[in-house]
Amino acid sequence: MLLLDLDGTLGFSLIPEEEAISETLEFISRKLAKRFNRAVSIEELHALYRETKREQYSIYHLNPKRHNKDLRWEMLLNKLESKVGVRLPEDFRDEVRMRYWSSFESKAKPYPDAQETLEKLMGGFVVVIVTNNDLAEAQRKLRIFGLKEGKHYDILITSENFNVCKPSPDFLKKLLPFLEQKLNCKVTLDNVVIIGDDPKNDIAWARSVGAKAIRIKRDLLADLEPGSEAEKADHVIENLSDLLIILR
């Protein structure tokens, strides 16, 4: 059985996410000046975004809401509202969210080897996509990447399935029984391979439970080096198609 991460593993999405955030903050800065006569610099908005993200991660530690982008923009706009002393109406908030997703979707794209590789892997393995995204965001990205259930993967699992994010041990405790129920067969870790781009959330998580770990070095985390022995994968690849050689 193969458990594959989504972002940075099956599609180019992490760098586009950062670019979309920057474009959206620039949009907010322009709109504040034009519509509300309030000047907030790009630097101030980036600082506010970082503060909001830290706060979201702290409040929703290993909870699916930790990664919810719409919630993050709502939290940021609430902070901004207090900062500038102007009520930001719902149509403005909607426009910000729409601008972010429009920018993201224009930049994110599938890796050229993802669809063909997954189709071939489906011939010999149960292919499971496991992501910390909520279901709505995961489905949006699968659409962008052109990945279809039954053709490119067997099961999609999001953090919302278990109300907890990887690398929490609780995620794994709920994952195996969930898969056994879905597949109607016993699932053991000795026949599970976890594939992802994040040394901590994917590789260390795999090794902590005794599963084989394969790291793909692409997207935003490509140059990130393992921070400990636990974050070192059994194999490191640069193309998803390399799995066809490693796993044969």
Q: How far apart, in Å, are the Cα atoms of 220 and each of 67, 213, 227?
A: 16, 19, 16
48/145 Cα distance (integer angstroms): 31
Exposure on the CB side of residue 23, measured as CA atoms within 13 A: 18
Q: What pLDDT score was predicted for residue 217? A: 95
Q: What pLDDT score was predicted for residue 100? A: 98
Q: Using an 8 Å Cβ cutoff, are 148 and 114 in contact?
A: no
Q: How many residues does the chain have?
A: 248
Q: What percent of the chain has pLDDT over 90?
A: 89
Q: What pLDDT score was predicted for residue 240? A: 96
Q: What pLDDT score was predicted for residue 169? A: 80
Q: What pLDDT score was predicted for residue 134? A: 93
Rounded to two decimals, the pTM is 0.92
Which amino acid does the sequence have at 129?
I
Note the pLDDT tens digit of each residue in 168-188: 888 888 998 999 999 998 988
Single out the residue of 203, 167, 196, 161 nearest to residue 182, CA to CA.
161
